[in-house]
Amino acid sequence: MAGSLKGQVAVVTGANSGVGRSATGMLLDAGAHVTMVCRSRERGERALAELRESAAGGSAGAKRQVGKGAHAVGTAGEKGTGARVDLELADLSRQDDVRALAGRLTARLPAIDILVNNAGVARPRCVHSPEGFELTFATNHLGHFLLTRLLRDQLEAGRGRIVNVSSRGHQSGDLRRAGLEDIARGRAWTGSLQAYADSKLANVLFTFETARRWGGRGITANAVHPGVLATEIWKKTSLAPRLLFLPFTWFMAGPDVGGKAVMNLVADPSRDALTGRYFHVQREETPSPQARDGALARELWKRSVEWTRG
């Protein structure tokens, strides 16, 4: 796989840990130029430094530039492939952050070959974004919806491969249990696991509707459940799920399983026509009945445009 993506441009959200961090490393190994999108400056710069050290073989000559203000940009090169990694800071739950991020990306990336929408949260309480949306829904769905739409021209100019990291948990999602407005605003909130499942269902519906709407533009979109992995998200859920699942993280697979699941959808040029599919790690599967509800997908898209002032 090394070198198979040489010169291609990738953007990965939630890239400082877990599946995003693993996918970033694998994309770099394959020769891609990767922009990591991270919420935390500290964690993002730490991940960037680790990637820089790995790419340069620990060379003291490797350099990084970090800007000031609301975002940071750093670069690291990988010997032999021309790969490079950049860092951008943005909180995907904040729509102004997403718009500013998209502006910076479009200013320096004329084309984007691969977009990995991976960032995810599972909040233990019902809290709201600055725009008044339940934070799990705002981050996991609306932030990625807005970013993807703002990058459409760049995706159309490039290879245009979108991978939305969803979850098998989408099967417990139910966006018909109340009005979409009530779910999005947290008025129908019944717990962190339900909120997370709803957002992951939204990821799959968004994937299928993107494939339907943008297929004629040469853009593909696929969703993937990366596996039940030992990642940081288990430490950020509410107390009951945390107590239930944390002991089992010892037996869960590591994030590289998820990284390989992402690479399975972007590394092979023969799969460039593959779109509108759902994968359980590297095996294609049929998602939940509600995830295949075309009317719901269209309604969610329409409302998401309204909610993001699109």
Residues tagged active-site: 196
Long-range contacts of 191-195 (CB under 8 A, 24+ apart): 191/238, 192/122, 192/123, 192/124, 192/125, 192/136, 192/237, 192/238, 192/241, 193/122, 193/169, 193/237, 193/238, 193/241, 195/122, 195/123, 195/126, 195/134, 195/136, 195/137
Q: Which residues of 125-136 are buried (b: 16+ CB within 10 A; e: fewer)?
A: ebeebebebbbb
Helix (H) or strand (E) holding 241, with range, is helix 239-245
What are the tokens at 190? 């019944």
Question: Which residues touch 114 (CB under 8 Å, ≥6 apart)?
Answer: 5, 8, 9, 10, 11, 27, 32, 159, 161, 163, 266
What are the tokens at 126? 């019902």
Question: Residue 165 forms beta bridges with which residues?
Answer: 224
**Widest CA span in the chain:** 57
Residue type, 261: A
Pairing of strands 283-285, 277-280: antiparallel
Show the DSSP H helices in 159-191 as ranges: 180-185
What are the tokens at 65? 């530039």
Instruction: Give the separation between CA 10 and CA 159, rounded to whole angstroms.
Output: 10
